[in-house]
Structure 1
């Protein structure tokens, strides 16, 4: 892994909603630096600001102040063409897969849109093979799904379909916001394995947004602990779990007995 290349960097990133007495500081002066091929988890309870931060990283929300750089340069997101180019490299998987797809579009259209986004000129046969390959990667059969609408699929199938899109797009960065919270334990393990396989094959950077410090510890190289809009602690995952410095981090870890058991036995 080449950790020296910083793909996404934030300095004093802040997001304020509202004005005056109704003002809410959702994210306050956050710094981050994510490297190629790195797995990062931003961990915090509901309301900590982690999803707002993820939306700013994606370019779906504009930061109130501070700077976010991509590949060493300030992002250019003013025009549709600039945003489209950025979103070719940075994709997201969200908690609710059904909200991520147009319910009036069949699976075939959803996957063909990925080919369009890449600007590829493929024959019908080449398109079919590309969609089939993507579905096969996530253990789905394109021939059984292509004519179905999102509401005809299960939650697990929808999450797999989202990963099939990522397989087709080959983004440099994937932001995964609570991607396994709405599916069963067996599917959760499978989805995580698929995401980690994508990282290994494509040197893709994965940013998990999660409240689950146990999950974060097991999959991540680096942890960012977020409380009330601020990053209160960050560093290598093992270092933070073994020697947490901040009281909030200690509280999160104490809620996951298995982590303590593992280190006590070590």
Structure 2
């Protein structure tokens, strides 16, 4: 386990309600969590379990209806453009559909230069070029081949790698990865995971995977949170959750993965 004892981000009684009256839907209900520096966490659940809504709340893209999120021991501040910009320096996300994460009318180099601007760095054109080239090289892309291209001219795999190149440039404290490998083939999936784990090791970054894939969660995680119908129904160390599940929903998720079920002979 990579994590240390420093709690980086905490959720207390997080609730998110959409709509009003009889049209009201509770997507997230009374969720608590403590994520440590350098820890890899997976929030696991089926579609509609509330895990992506929770991820957007952590990211600050959705406002919680009730509850508090603390960052570095203090309630986070998102009420101004300046405070949001500061928060997003430290907390970044990779989403399932990379094409929805970029402005399709901006060329690749602008998307990467914006990372430099977000950090407040003042670099010459040559220094910017070197930084972008280094980031692309980290994800096995050649910047010269991406230069002057728009995102829609790239493949899905290239887009996912470009998203990781952004993370390489930004060095966030927390990365929220929402189904980051669901749209790529098995070979690319393994490569992307290896890149993310390397980033964690190099930067002591906390990674929060949002996934329906129990096998992925077991492979990469220190801790696992199981989410059903907006609630966390089980949490703990990855091995404890997978090898000795307590909640019937966790057991169901594991039983639905034949290889895991057979290999570990879980009931």
| Residue deviations 1:27-46 (CA, integer Å, cap 9, x gap) | 00000000011000000000
1:261: Cα distance to partner? 3.4
Which residue is equivalent to 1:198?
199
1:258: Cα distance to partner? 1.8
1:47: Cα distance to partner? 0.3
Distance 1:183 1:151 in 2: 16
Which residue is equivalent to 2:165?
164
Distance 1:237 1:262 in 2: 16
Unaligned runs of 5+ in 2: none
Return closer, same or farther for 1:169/1:34 CA change in 2, 3 Å cut-off.
same
1:2: Cα distance to partner? 4.6
Q: TM-score by structure 2 length? A: 0.98
Which residue is equivalent to 2:188?
187
Distance 1:3 1:203 in 2: 9
3-state SS of paired residue (1:10): strand
Which residue is equivalent to 2:95?
94
1:262: Cα distance to partner? 3.2
Which residue is equivalent to 2:132?
131
Which residue is equivalent to 2:38?
37
Distance 1:204 1:2 in 2: 9
Distance 1:105 1:29 in 2: 39
How many positions carry a matched residue from both structures? 265
3-state SS of paired residue (1:232): strand
Which residue is equivalent to 2:235?
234
Q: TM-score by structure 1 length? A: 0.98
Distance 2:208 2:222 in 1: 10
| Residue deviations 1:220-255 (CA, integer Å, cap 9, x gap) | 000000000000000000001111000000000001
| Residue deviations 1:201-225 (CA, integer Å, cap 9, x gap) | 0000000000111111111000000
1:98: Cα distance to partner? 0.3
Distance 1:130 1:261 in 2: 47
Distance 1:228 1:222 in 2: 20
Distance 1:105 1:242 in 2: 47
3-state SS of paired residue (1:128): helix
